[in-house]
Structure 1
Amino acid sequence: MSQHFLGLLTAALVISGHLLVPINGDTDSPDVSALNVMYKSLRSPSQLTGWKSSGGDPCGKSWKGITCSGSSVTVINLSGLGLSGTLGYQLSSLTSVTDFDLSKNNLQGDIPYQLPPSSVHINLAGNAFTGGVPYSISEMSDLETLSLANNQLSGQVSDMFGKLRKLTELDLSINRFSGNLPQSFGSLKNLNALYLQNNQFTGPVNVLASLHLDNLNIQNNQFTGWIPDGFRKINNLQAGGNSWSSLRAPAHYHTYDNGKDDRSSGYKRKSSVINGLAISGTVVVVLFLIVVMLALMKKRKKSTTSLHYIDESDNQGRSFTPLVGHDKDFKRMGSSSSSAVDVNFVPRFTSIGLKHSSSKPPTSERSSSFSENEFKIKLHSKRSTEPINAGAMLLVDLQAATGGFSTSHFVGKGSIGCVYKAKCVDGKVLAVKKMISSSHGFMEVISEISRLHHPNISELVGFCSESGFNLLVYEYERNGSLHDYLHLSDDYSNPLTWDTRVRIALGTARSLEYLHEICSPCTIHKNIKSANILLDTELNPHLSDCGLASFYQDTSKILGPGYQPPEYNKPSNYTIKSDIYCFGVVMLELLTGRKSFDSSRSRVEQNLVRWAMPQLHDIDALSQMVDPALRGLYSPKSLSRFADVIALCVQPEPEFRPPMSEVVQALALCVQQSNLNKKLGGELSTSRRSEDSDYYY
C-alpha cells in the first residue's frame, strides 16, 4: 500500500515538474507575445518557418529570421521574403532588438507608431508603406542607420531628429515627402550619408551646410535657393533636377555652382569704388522705402479709424483673401471703396517672440513677408526658450475674412470663446476662435500651443492680439465635430461605420498619448469631449483646444454633464487620469451613439457612464447597447475589446486607469480585429467622406 502511494506521489511530482516548465521556453514572454502579434499581422505566411500565432519559443526553436542573446530577441531580419500585411502594434515590447530589417517585401499601411525602442539599425525600404515617419523614432538615441526608401510615405518630415546624435546614415529617398527640410537635420553631426532623392522637398538646403557628409543625394526634388559652399567638401554629391537660383547669391551667402564658380570669392574681388557706390545706392533706396512706408501707414490708419463689424450683406459676391501664404511674399493687391474695410488685400504676418511686451507687433515686423515654412510650428517635445513661431495676423484682415465676425460666419460657442469661419479667395477655409477672456497671459498660451504638433491635434496657424481682441486661428475641419456627427446628423442611413469609430478613437488616443507621455513637460488637456474632436474630410480626428487649460477656471462647467470624473470637486483634483476618464466617455458615445448626458431619457439612463458601466462585460447586454444605426455591422471581438478599454478608462479609482500608451495599443488591436468583409463594408462606405480609408495602417 505504501509503495503504491509512493509511486503515485513520484508520478505526480514528475507531471507537476513538466507543468511548471515555462510555456515560452527559453524566450522572454513579452518578446513571444510581440512576435505572435506580428506573425498574425503579416497574415501568417508559410515562409516564416517555426513562427506561431500563439506561444512558442523563438530563441529555443530557431524561428526564421530571429536571432537571440540569452532569452531576449535581438535581431529580426526578414528581408526579401515576399511578406505582406502590416507589422502589428506590439513592437515596443521588443526592448532588446537592435537590428530590425523587413526591407524588400510588400508590407502596407502606416509604419507602426511604436518600433523596437532600442533599435540601432532599422531598414523598412522597398515596401508599400504610407503615412509619415513615426514620431517614436525621435526617442531612439542609439539609432545609427535608418532606411525608409522606396515606399509611399508622404507629407512634411517632422522636426524630430534632435536626439539622434549617433545616426550615420539616413535614407528617405523615392517617396512622396514634401515641404521644407526639418531644422533638426542640422544636429546630425555624425551623419555620413543622406539620401533624399526623388521626393517633393521644397525650400533651401542651408540646414545641411554644416554637416560632414561623404554622400549626399538631393536630386529630383523642388529645392530652391543656392547650393551652400560647404557642399564642396562632399565626396559624392548629386544635386541635379532641382530649381536652383540662376541669380548671383548675396555676398554673405557662401555658395558654389557645381564647382564652376566660387561666388563668395567673386564678391571679395569687387573694388572698393564699386562697394562704395553700392552702399550709397542702398542708403538711397532705404530712405525712399521709409518715406513710402510712412505714407502707407498714414493711409491705413485713416482707413481703419472708423472700423466696425462688417455686415455680411454688404459683401455679397465679394471674395475674401487667403490668410496663409504659400512660399510667396505677401503684397498689397488693391483696395475697394464700397466698404470701410478693404477686403481685397492679402494680410501680412510676423513672427512674434515673447520678448515683445506689446500685444501689437512693431511696424517694421508687421510689414515683413512670410513664407509657409516660417508659419509652421516646429515639432519639438520639450518646452522651448526660443521666440514662438506662430504667425501674428492683423485684426483688420481677420475681420474682413469673417465678415466682421458676423452671424453668417458663426460656427459655434464654447466655454472660452466663439468660433467663426474665415473664407479665403483660394478656397481655403480657416477657423477663428474669438476668446472671451482678457489678454493677460495670452502670449504665454500661444507659446504653449505652438510647441504642440501631432497629426491628430488641431494645429495653430496664427493668432491676433489687438484692440482688446484675442484670436486663435486654426485649420477648418469641414466635417465638424464628432459630437455633431454622432448626435446631430440626419444621416441615420449613413452613420459612421464601426471601423471608422474605432479609428477615430485610436487617433484621439494617440493625440492624448502625445500630450501625456511624449511632451516634456506633459500637458493635461482638461476639456476632452466629443465636441472637441474635429473630423476632416477623410474623417480623421483632430483634438482641439489643446494647450488652453489655463483658461479653464471651473472644469465642471467646461466639460458639461456626463464627463466629470468621480474624483473631481475642485480644479486641483483634475489630473492626467481625469483626461483618461473623459476619453472613456467619448468612447462610450462612439459605442452607443448616445450623449454623455441625455435628460430626455429615463432617469436611470440619463448619465451614460452610470447606465453603461455595469453592462460592459455582459456580452448579451453589450450587443443591446451598441448604436442601432450600425445595424449589427461590426466585429463582435472588436466590440468586446473596445468595451474592455472603456471599462478600464472610466474606472472610479484614478490610479487604476491605464496610461494612454496602453490604450493606444489596445485600440490598435481593435482596429486589426474589426474584420467586416469587403461587401458589408462597401454598403456603409457612403458615410459622408471616405470613412473606411486605411489612415492608421
Structure 2
Amino acid sequence: MTVLLLLLFIRTVFIAVFLGFSCRAQNFTCSTEDSTSLEAFARHLDSGRVDGWGGGSDCCQWVGVTCSNSGRVIELDLARRRLAGNISDSLGNLGELKTLNLSHNFLRGAIPNSLLHLPLLETFDLSNNDVSGQFDNTTTAAANLPSIRAFNISDNSITGAAPVWICKNSTVIKVINFADNLFSGILPLGIGDCASSLEELDLSANFIHGGFPEDLFHLRNLKKMSLQDNQFSGHLSGHLIGNLSNLTHIDLSLNELSGNLPDIFDRFPHLRFFSAQSNRFVGKIPTTLANSPTLVSLSLRNNSLSGTIDLNCSAMVNLVSLNLATNDFRGEIPKNLPECSRLRTINFARINFSGIIGCGGFGLVYKAVLSDGRKLAIKRLSGEHFQIEREFRAEIETLSRAQHPNLVRLQGYCKYKKDRLLLYTYMENGSLDYWLHEKVDGPTSLDWETRLNIAKGAARGLAYLHQSCEPHILHRDIKSSNILLNEKFEAHLADFGLARLILPYDTHVSTDLVGTLGYIPPEYGQASVATYKGDVYSFGVVLLELLTGKRPMDLCRKRENRDLIAWVREMRREERETEVFDPFLYEKRNAEEMVSVLEIACVCLSENPKMRPFTQELVSWLDKVGSVPEDELS
C-alpha cells in the first residue's frame, strides 16, 4: 500500500511539473505579428538575415530577443552584431517593445517614423551607426513616445534641427544624447518640456549655432550638460544657468561664447567638472568658481581671460586637474597652489604672467631678460622632492655632455634651499606643438619646407644623442612639445628630465613606463626597458603630426579618428593616404615629398622594433626626401 501511494505521488508531481513547463513554453511562444515583423527587419538587411535567428522557429528563442509571458517581444538588443543595411519600419509593429538597442552597427538610411510611435518604448539606442536623413519637426509628425527614458542617436549623420520634440509627450525621460551628428540651425524651443525628469543632455559635436533658448534653463533636474564643439554664441546668462542647481558636469568648450563668466557657481553644490575652453570669454575668473569645494576638473584654456589668478586652494579641496593655458592673465603664480592637495595636472602654458612662457613636465618655464639684453628661458622645477632631484640631475648630466646645434643649450643652473632652476637659451618661437595645435594661424604659417626642415633638424639632434654623444643618451620623451623653435624655426630637442645615459655595450635601460600618451611605443607596455628604437617610434609620431596637423590622441574627434596612428594605417590600407595630409599643406608640388616622409614615418612606427631604422638612417632618408628608393625603406 505504501509503495502504491508513493508511485501515485511521483506520478502526480511529474504531471504537475510537465504541465508547468508546457504552460511556460506555450506562454513564451512568439506572437505571429511580432515574428513577422522581425523577419521583415532581417530581410531588409544587406545580408538578409541575422545570425542566431531561424526562420519558422519561435522568435522568443532568437538571439537578442526577449518576450513577455504573453509572447510579445519586449526587448530587441542587437548591439555590436555587425548589421548593415536599412532599418525596416516593420519594427514599429512591435507594440509592446520596451527596449530597442541597435547600437554599434553599420545601419544606414533614415529612422522609420513608426519607431517613434511605440507607446511602451523606454530605451531607444541607435548610436554608432551611419543613420542619416532628418526628422520631420512639425507638430503633427512629432514622436509620441510617452514611456521613453533614454533616447540615444549619437555618432550618426543625421541633419536638420535637433529633435527636442522628444520631450513633448514624455514625463519620465532621463537621458537625451544627440552627440556627433550633423544637426544645425538654432536649438529649437521644446527642450524645456523635459524639465521634470531630464538628467543628461548631450548635444556635443554638431553645428548648432545661436544663443541658448530660455527653456534650456528650465531643466531643474539636469545633472550633465554637454554642449561642446558647436557654434553657440552670445553671453552666458547667470540669471538663467543658475537655475540648473543639480548640475555635476558642464561642458561649453569649443563654441563662440563671449562676455564674462557669470559669478554664480555657488549655486552648483554638486559641480565636479567645468570646461569653457576655446571660447571668447573675457574678464576675471569668477570668485565663486575659484572657491568651489566640489570641483575636480576646471578648464578655461584658450580664452581671453585676464587679471590675476586668485584661486582659493584651501577651499578647492577636490581639484585634480587645472588648465588655464593661453589666456591673458598677469601677475604672479598663485603661491597657494600647494594647498590644492589633490592637484595632479596643471597647465599654465602661454600665459603672460610675469614672463611665464610654458609648463614643462616638472615645472613652469619663465622668460628672463638679462641686463645685457640676452634672453633666457628659466625652468623652475616643482613636484615631489625625489622627482625634482632626479630630473634636475638628468638635465644637467645630459646637457653638460651633449652639445649640438639641434639640442637646446643649458646656460646654467641654480640650487638654493628647495628651489631648483635650470637656465636655457631662449627659443623665440616656442614649441612645435604650439604652432601645430594651439596657435590659431600656426598651421598656415608652417609651410612644407619649414616643416621638413624641422623634421630634419630634430632627427639630427636625436641621432647625435643616440650615436655621437659619449656616453650615448636615450631621450625617452620625444614629442612635438619637446621640439623648440628659434627665430628661424630651426628645431632644438628639449626637456631631458627623463633622459638616461647608455654606457658602452648597453642597448637599453631598465625603467618604469614613462612618456606621453600617444607617443609611447607599444613594446614599453610589455617590458620595463627603454631602447633607441623606442625614441624612433616617438619621432615617427612627430612626423605624422607634421604631415597631418593632428594630435596623436584627440578625444574631441570622432571615435574612429581619435588614434592618429591607427587612422593613418587604415587610410593607407584603403590607398587614401593623400587624404591624411594637412589641407593647409598639401599641394601637387609637395605631394611626392610628403608621401616619402609618410613612408618614413610608417617605418618608424613599425610594431616590431627591429623593423624601425637607426637614427642615422633616419637622418639620411630625410636628407634625401624626394629621391629615396622604395627598397631602402624595406
- TM-score (norm. length: structure 1): 0.36
Bigger relative CO (Cα 8 Å, ≥ 6 apart): 1
- TM-score (norm. length: structure 2): 0.40
Q: Larger strand proportion, structure 1 or 2?
A: 2
